[in-house]
Amino acid sequence: MPIAKKSKNSRVRWVSHGEMKSIVEKRAQSVLKVSRATFMRNRKNGEYAKLDADDCPGIVELALLAPSVENAKTRARKNR
């Protein structure tokens, strides 16, 4: 199997707070049919604590994205 060559120009592109909010908004709409704000509020209140990934495909990915929105402003980095 051929090995991929490393690019000399590979860079990390940081996602802005607004972009992360948009990503979570789209994912919340597609998985739970609710807005990002509703998802974040319900998550904080523990309404999804017993939701099973088999019953709701995509909930795990959405749960992993949620802290990114909550912490984005405090740990924001800029693209160079």
Q: Give pLDDT tens digits along the chain (80 positions).
A: 566 666 666 778 888 888 889 999 999 999 999 999 999 999 999 998 888 888 888 999 998 988 887 765 555 566 66
The answer to whether position 78 is within a domain reads no
The answer to whether position 11 is within a domain reads no
Q: How many domains does one find in the chain?
A: 1
What number of helices (H) and strands (E) belong to the chain?
A: 3, 0
The answer to whether position 10 is within a domain reads no
Please state the pTM of the whole predicted model. Answer: 0.70
Query: How far lies 44's CA from each of 10, 21, 41, 66, in Å?
Result: 37, 16, 5, 10
pLDDT of residue 38: 95
The answer to whether position 63 is within a domain reads yes
Range of the domain at 34: 17-71
Query: How far lies 24's CA from each of 20, 21, 37, in Å?
Result: 6, 5, 9
